Structure 1
Amino acid sequence: MTNFDKILEVAQKRQGQSQPLKLQDSTVLLEQIKNREQDTRPLNLKHIESLAESIAVLGLIEPLVLDNKARLLAGGHRLAAIQLLKEQQADKYLHHFPDNRIPIRMLPFDAESEPDLALQVEIAENEQRRDYTPNEVKAIAERLRTAGFIDVKGRPKKGQKPLMPALAVVIGKNLRTVQRYLEPNQNTEQEKSTTPVVLLKQASTKLKQWQKIEPKTPQEKALAKRLPELLNLIEDVLSNEK
């Protein structure tokens, strides 16, 4: 269960809903988005400028997160970057946001009446940043290079757009991690660790560990009953791969 799932579960109980609440993917007009009264961390102008440059090339990778009154819950820097892009590069803004509509994820509660949940969303989103594969990072880097970002050693000259800081902003990782993603052997190493054989061996090991635990619920008992058959199937597949 993710942090967002836990927040939705709390909201469901408070609202007395019988059905689980869900994140709703949608779009809203930029002017309809209401800023938070305060952020847990102050907005950084350089970060906003870097984000605006990356959004001009890549679009908005991670949607903003709003409550059901269109109040911002998470994505303060992204919202400021979108507003800056609209002011400074209107053509690119309209290219990525036709009809002035911004991709968002809406949580079904009111931040004013549930301020603790609103704060949890802001923190959860920072903790729950997506991990990109080396292939994805390299593809993003190529798109940035095509748009004029370059590899720069040391301090960039006036007018230069350094690639690495922009890439770090896009994927939400530090420069050292970004450099590691771009190393030539990264794809090979990751592919080796995620081949079907490796994944099946890992699954078999985990299932055997779980098999030692006493099942409690009816679902766990049903799984425990069928687990030997599943493990045998996995062993058959692995033996054929040798």
Structure 2
Amino acid sequence: MTNFDKILEVAQKRQGQSQPLKLQDSTVLLEQIKDREQDTRPSNPKHVESLAESIAVLGLIEPLVIDNKFRLLAGGHRLAAIRLLKEQQAEKYLHQFPDNRIPIRMLPFDVEEDPDLALQVEIAENEQRRDYTPNEVKVIAERLRTAGFLDVKGRPKKGQKPLMPALAVVIGKNLRTVQRYLEPNQSNDQEKSTTAVVLLKQASTKLKQWQKIEPKTPQEKALAKHLPELLNLIEDVLGNEK
């Protein structure tokens, strides 16, 4: 069960509905999407600019998440980048978003009625960002190069579009990790590393769920005693992969 599945279960119980709530994937007009009243992360202008450039080439990889009143729940930087793209590069904007319609995921609740649930959505959306394989990263890099992004060393000259920062924004990794992904002859090792990260994330989630259960047997009590240390080690490993 994904984080979004769990959130939908909570929303279902809080709204007293007997039928399971479903995540609705659709498109809406850009002007219909309303900003959040409070944002947990301040907007980073450079991040927005890089994201706008990548969206112009690749489109919107991760849809925006909104509530049933069209209020933004997750994707503040993406929304700002889309607006910037429309303002500065209207032709590319319309190429990626025909008829001015933006891909969204609509969750069936009202953020004003349940702000705590809205925060859970934002956190879950950030946690479930996909891990790209090295081969996928290389394909994205080639598409960006074809669109005029350059492998620039040092500070880019005026008018140059550096590849690495744009790629880091797209895949949600730091520059060092992106560089490792693009190194020749590293695909197999990185594929294994990516798989290991996914498995560790799954293990961490399951262990945290088990941690809430009262241990009964001596073996379970022994495991419960050492579980916090184990979870910390897993978090350290995952932190180094970001």
Fold equivalence (TM over 0.5) = yes
Name the % identity: 92
Partner SS, residue 73 of structure 1: strand
- Structure 2: tracts of 5 or more residues without a match: none
Distance 1:93 1:79 in 2: 13
Change (3 A) 1:218 1:5: farther
Which stretch shows the higher mean deviation, 36-45 or 196-205? 196-205
Distance 1:112 1:121 in 2: 14
Query: Deviations for 1:199-225, whole angstroms, at most 9, x for unmatched residues?
Result: 999999999999999999999999999
Change (3 A) 1:199 1:59: closer
Distance 1:121 1:240 in 2: 25
Distance 2:34 2:131 in 1: 29
Which stretch shows the higher mean deviation, 49-58 or 176-185? 176-185
Distance 1:99 1:51 in 2: 21
Distance 1:3 1:231 in 2: 19
Deviation at 1:71, TM superposition (A): 0.5
Change (3 A) 1:215 1:107: same
Which stretch shows the higher mean deviation, 96-105 or 195-204? 195-204
Which stretch shows the higher mean deviation, 230-239 or 74-83? 230-239
Deviation at 1:72, TM superposition (A): 0.2
Match of 1:201 in 2: 201
Change (3 A) 1:152 1:8: same
Change (3 A) 1:183 1:32: same
CA RMSD of aligned residues (A): 8.4
Distance 2:37 2:188 in 1: 47
Distance 1:20 1:219 in 2: 38
Deviation at 1:185, TM superposition (A): 2.2
Change (3 A) 1:241 1:92: closer
Distance 2:102 2:139 in 1: 24
Q: Which runs of 4+ in 1 moved over 4 A?
A: 190-242
Distance 1:238 1:73 in 2: 26
Change (3 A) 1:148 1:16: same
Deviation at 1:183, TM superposition (A): 1.5
Distance 2:161 2:41 in 1: 26
Deviation at 1:132, TM superposition (A): 0.5
Change (3 A) 1:60 1:208: closer
Distance 1:122 1:219 in 2: 37
Change (3 A) 1:174 1:192: closer
Deviation at 1:186, TM superposition (A): 2.7
- What's the TM-score once normalised by structure 1's chain length? 0.79
Which stretch shows the higher mean deviation, 17-26 or 138-147? 17-26
Change (3 A) 1:206 1:43: closer
Distance 1:67 1:212 in 2: 30
The aligned length equals: 242
Deviation at 1:2, TM superposition (A): 2.2
- What's the TM-score once normalised by structure 2's chain length? 0.79
Tell whether the 8 Å contact from 2:51 to 2:81 is kept in structure 1 after alignment: yes
Query: Deviations for 1:102-135, whole angstroms, at most 9, x for unmatched residues?
Result: 0000111111101100111112212221101111
Match of 1:99 in 2: 99
